[in-house]
Amino acid sequence: MSSARSWQHRLDSVTGGPTISMRFSIAGRLNVRYIGTDCPTGRWAARIARGMEPPTPGPDDITIEFRPGVRPQGRSLPPINLGPTMNGIWVADHLDRAAWIPFHDLFSEPVVVDSDMDARFFCNWILHPVVRAALWRKGVGMYRGAGAAVNDHRVCIAAWTATGKSRILFELLRRGHEYIADDWMALSADGLVSPMSSQVDFRDDQRSYVDSSRWPGRRSVIRPLMVKMTRWASGATRRWGNLSTGLDKLADAAWKAGWQKSDLATLFPHAAVAGAGPLDILVVLASPGVQIPSRADVPEVMAACVSGEYGFNEMEAAYRFSRPGKLSEPLYPRFETNRDFAAQALQGTRVMVVPFSGSFDDVEAVANMIEHMGAGLRRSQEGVA
């Protein structure tokens, strides 16, 4: 990784106080500043921004400031722990550690985040919604996917959540390729793909791809047993609807607790973060029982993967309810717009649709295929040269 893209974007002192800040760029179009990274949530945010592009000339586009004691203001709007503030909305984690988000004035006012907020909640409900809204105003879409730079060619993997994208990425990183994405990727209309962060999501069943001495998670015997027992109890109590539903939700919560987050440098210390570049290959994983999409259907599949994730639409609806008239345009692209944007972005991209069961053999087979395609593209370019 070049020195310009290492830790030089910059851990510096903000004028007038000891608060630590950091600046970086996403997709070469969105300058982001973190202020107050000398706190648990701020340190996590800084860790997953390592390796990102340095800021482009010009002012910061969005500022995220970490402060202690940020709490909800007033009543929430169920089902999300979210409500109105004087200048936007607040959204809070399970311990009421909140963030205040001024979506209607995102490029002028800072997003204020509690310094001890849960890291997963920060990423899913503050960082991703804020960055997605800001990128869209800059003409860049945000799509679900994993990706790596293989032989200097950028390859991304699109699929529904929990299909196996991360395991293929881990296999590619283990083989020495560069990181692009493990959760979300930025994609411009002219086909340039960029990393959003260097965050890595993992589960116990992915331990084989990582050096055991660097594994940050904890293997749990109780959690899988709890999932099985509560699933069984949910079925056994189906005559009592509320009880059965509650047990099923408990099983889901126990399963989701198995997902953990880390940064790229912790799990794969020798892996670099790739810079922005043309998306050369898109691999679409088709799960068993799912209709195999045609090349023309792939943009719809990509838009569907975005629409099925997290609470972007719910957050925008709550914002419009709390602050009617403040938003002059949609925060996020609608499904059809997202689909058409992806279709335009993929015009110069090779698309492969692969039936994928999720087995370890399938992971290695897809990784081998990606490497073979990357090597083929490299040979063809060398032949032309």
Q: What is the DSSP string of 90-110?
A: EEE-TT--EEEE-GGGTTTS-
pLDDT for res 14: 34
Q: Whole-prediction pTM value? A: 0.86
Look up residue 204 and give its DSSP letter: G
Q: According to the model, what pLDDT value does residue 7 have?
A: 31
Q: CA 65 → CA 34, 110, 127, distances in Å?
A: 6, 6, 12
In this prediction, residue 206 carries a pLDDT of 66
* Shared domain check, 134 and 30: yes
Q: Is residue 317 part of a domain?
A: no
What's the pLDDT at 6? 34
Do 28 and 84 reside in the same domain of the chain?
Answer: yes
Based on the domain organization, do 186 and 243 belong to the same domain? Answer: no
Residues 53, 200 within the same domain: no
User: What pLDDT is recorded for position 219?
Assistant: 62
Q: What range does the domain containing 251 cover?
A: 222-257
Looking at the structure, tell me whether residues 286 and 181 fall in a common domain.
Answer: yes
Same domain, 26 and 101: yes
What confidence score (pLDDT) does residue 16 get?
Answer: 37
Give the span between the Cα atoms of 116 and 215, in whole angstroms.
24
Q: Is residue 228 domain-shared with residue 291, that is, in the same domain?
A: no
Whether 187 and 302 share a structural domain: yes
Residue 126 lies in a domain: yes
- Which residues neighbour 253 within 8 Å (Cβ) at sequence distance 6 or greater? none
Q: Residue 151 — left, alpha, or beta (φ > 0 → left; ψ -120 to 50 → alpha)?
A: left
Residue showing tokens 């972005």: 345
Whether residues 245 and 272 share a domain: the answer is no
Q: Which residues, 6 or more positions from 332, have their beta carbon under 8 angstroms from its beta carbon?
A: 132, 133, 136, 312, 313, 316
242 shares a domain with 101: no
Domain end (from 111, 138, 165)? 138
Q: Does residue 323 belong to any structural domain of this protein?
A: no
Which residue(s) pair with 24 in the sheet? Answer: 32
Return the pLDDT at 49. 94
Look at residue 226 in the predicted model and tell me its pLDDT.
87
* CATH code of 366's domain: 3.40.50.300
Residues 190 and 231 in one domain: no
Residue 136, token pair as written in the block: 């869209």
Q: Tell whether 370 is covered by a domain.
A: yes
Confidence at residue 149, expressed as pLDDT on a 0 to 100 scale:
96
* pLDDT per residue as tens, the chain (385 positions): 433 333 333 333 333 344 688 999 999 999 999 999 999 999 999 999 999 999 999 999 999 999 999 999 888 888 888 998 888 899 999 999 999 999 999 999 999 999 999 998 999 999 999 999 999 999 999 999 999 999 899 999 999 887 889 989 999 999 999 999 998 999 999 999 999 999 888 776 666 666 665 656 566 677 788 888 999 999 999 999 999 999 998 888 777 766 778 889 888 889 999 999 999 999 999 988 888 889 999 999 999 999 876 678 888 998 999 889 999 899 999 999 999 999 999 999 999 999 998 787 888 999 999 999 887 776 666 554 4
CB 142 within 8 A of CB 196: yes
Residue 35 backbone dihedrals phi, psi, to 5 degrees = -120, 130
pLDDT on residue 359: 80
pLDDT of residue 57: 93
**321: in domain:** no
Helices of type H across 292-334: 298-307, 312-322
Closest CA to 31 of 6, 53, 15, 46: 53
In angstroms, rounded to a whole number, what is the distance separating the alpha carbons of residues 20 and 25?
Answer: 18
Between CA 75 and CA 84 the distance in angstroms is 8
Cα(377)–Cα(374) distance, rounded to whole angstroms? 5
Task: Give the Cα separation of 113 and 115 in Å (integer).
Answer: 6
* Structure confidence by residue, pLDDT tens digits, 360-379: 788 899 999 999 988 777 66
The beta-carbon contacts of 329-337 under 8 Å, at least 24 apart in sequence, are 331/103, 331/129, 331/133, 331/136, 332/132, 332/133, 332/136, 333/136, 333/141, 335/303, 335/304, 335/307, 336/303
User: Pick from 280, 260, 256, 249: which is nearest to 347 by CA?
Assistant: 280
Instruction: Tell me, yes or no, whether 177 and 121 share the same domain.
Output: no
Residue 153 inside a domain? The answer is yes
Residue 171 is inside which H or E element, if any? Answer: helix 165-174
Domain count across the chain: 3
Look at residue 25 in the predicted model and tell me its pLDDT: 96
Tell me the two tokens of residue 49.
């921004």
Render pLDDT for 251-307 as a digit per residue (tens, 0 to 9).
887 777 667 788 898 888 899 999 999 999 999 999 888 888 899 999 999 999 998
Let me know: does 155 contact 374? Beta carbons within 8 Å.
Answer: yes
Among 138, 172, 189, identify where a domain stops. 138
Q: What is the pLDDT of residue 20?
A: 81
Q: Which of 96, 120, 138 is the last residue of a domain?
A: 138
Residue 322 lies in a domain: no
